[in-house]
Amino acid sequence: MRKAERVQFILDTLEKLYPEVPIPLDHSDAYTLLIAVLLSAQCTDKRVNLITPSLFAKANNPSEMVKLTIEEIREIIKPCGLSPFKSKAIFDLSQIILDKHNGQVPETFEDLEALPGVGHKTASVVMSQAFGVPAFPVDTHIHRLAERWKLTSGKNVEQTEKDLKRLTPKELWNKVHLQIIFYGREYCPARGHVVENCPICKAIQL
């Protein structure tokens, strides 16, 4: 199977299995999505979704968030890990959004990535899922599957993102990255992967 055929087969399979893809992180707007994505670093989406209701009940917008102390935020988000870093980032980015962006989450990669605790992947998720701007957020899971499917030889997520953007239609980026995440969880895990139970790996026989 040539690379172009492999890419098309993968896209077709993902679309067949996941015609609708919900956003894994519970949120109500761009701000709550931004906070949830920041919390998801080195933490499962499932755990983030258990923690955010308590946080958002106290503060679901920047002006409410800065009324809390960093320590109060930290106590709530502790189960997500990296709580000293994440709590300070949440407080500081909320203050910046109030001071520089009139209380609204900025809608450019540049402004998002300038916020504390917000890297390119987090900015990409917010741009794609909150604002509908084509982006291809690549986390370690997508990077792993892209390597497994020989879609990239990238040694890092930055190169993998470039390769996946080159290989897939721009209008599909926002959906495909979610489809790959769901597929990886269900059929193509890092450990205990059984090729016979994985429709894509079984068919392309790498």
Measuring CA to CA, how many Å separate 54 from each of 32, 59, 72, 75, 100? 12, 9, 11, 11, 27
* DSSP assigned state of 39: H
Q: Which helix (H) or strand (E) holds 111?
A: helix 109-113
Q: Is 139 a catalytic residue?
A: yes
Q: Is 121 a catalytic residue?
A: yes
Sequence-ordered list of residues with C-beta below 8 angstroms from that of 115, at least 6 positions apart, any chain: 89, 93, 96, 97, 106
DSSP string, 78-97: GGGS-HHHHHHHHHHHHHHH
DSSP string, 151-178: S---SSHHHHHHHHHHHS-GGGHHHHHH
> Which of 139, 150, 163, 202 is flagged as catalytic?
139
> Which of 45, 99, 121, 163 is flagged as catalytic?
121
SS3 for 131? coil
Catalytically active residues are: 121, 139
